[in-house]
Amino acid sequence: MELGGRVIWITGAASGIGAACAESLAGAGARLALSDRDAPALEARAAALRAQGAEALALPLDVTDPAACVAAVAQAQARLGPVEGLAAAAGINIRRRALAELDPLEAAQVMAVNANGVINAALAVLPGMRSRGGGALAVICSWAGRHVQPFTGAAYNASKQAVSAFCHTLNMEEGANGIRACAILPGEVSTPLLAAKDDAPTPGMRSRMLQPQDVARAVRFALESPAHVCMNEILISPTWNRLYVPPGRQAARAEADRAAGLG
């Protein structure tokens, strides 16, 4: 699907992976509807893209609000045209992740944003896509959506497993309508989300992680795939994958980072 002139809606667009997706898709000539709950940061992002010659409409919202998602799609359609693609990048995590200290309200918020937020955005675009006979969704899931891991926490793991299952179910039900979804499952990415950790990674550790632009390339690849191709999921990780590197080698690399002034 050539993206030039097509309307793509990006959630979580003010920072991190969502912002990188906006840059990448603008470079492909897409017309962008951008959403995030941080309205000032979102408008600044849209203004920067417009200054580069892109068409970017800021539509602040909280993805946990289904009606707001429907309204955003209606506004995007009125201002830009039919929404033919969705890049769902809104996501959060919390600091107290272990079950021994997990707060039920915080856990519910993780599920509301990471899982329900994707569902709300998808349900807002699907009717129009069905009526036009096609559409593409690229959903930022996580390595945790395929491989449960201890340090991301139970709530986050559950939310991303739910998102992965949702994408595959969407393909089962909507493929006959020409609609396809790709679950993008990245390993560690150097984004502001890492601030929600007590053991924040050092600059050296961040340099070996995926960068938001790496994930944005996968999103663009999924959205640009021909209409008859469904890229069901893309699992992507850093080459230096801390889940695979033995503790001894991690400790040695950390010492080398400190010697180099990288923390």
244 is catalytic: no
Query: What's the DSSP call for residue 196?
Result: S
Query: Residue 233 and residue 163: Cα distance in Å, rounded?
Result: 11
Query: Residue 150 and residue 123: Cα distance in Å, rounded?
Result: 31
DSSP 86-146: EEE------S--STTT--HHHHHHHHIIIIIHHHHHHHHHHHHHHHHT-EEEEEE--GGGT
Amino acid of residue 78: A
DSSP 26-37: HHTT-EEEEE-S
Contacts of 29 (CB under 8 A, 6+ apart): 3, 4, 5
Q: CA 145, 60, 136, 186 torsion: positive or negative?
A: negative
Query: Residue 175 and residue 166: Cα distance in Å, rounded?
Result: 13
In 59-168, the DSSP E strands lie at 83-88, 135-140
Query: Residue 135 and residue 223: Cα distance in Å, rounded?
Result: 9
Which residue in 56, 156, 186, 223 is the catalytic one? 156
Phi first, then psi, for residue 200 (nearest 5°) are -60, 135
Tell me which residue of 2, 21, 1, 25 sits closest to 13, measured CA to CA: 21
Query: What's the DSSP call for residue 262?
Result: -
Q: Give the active site residues.
A: 156
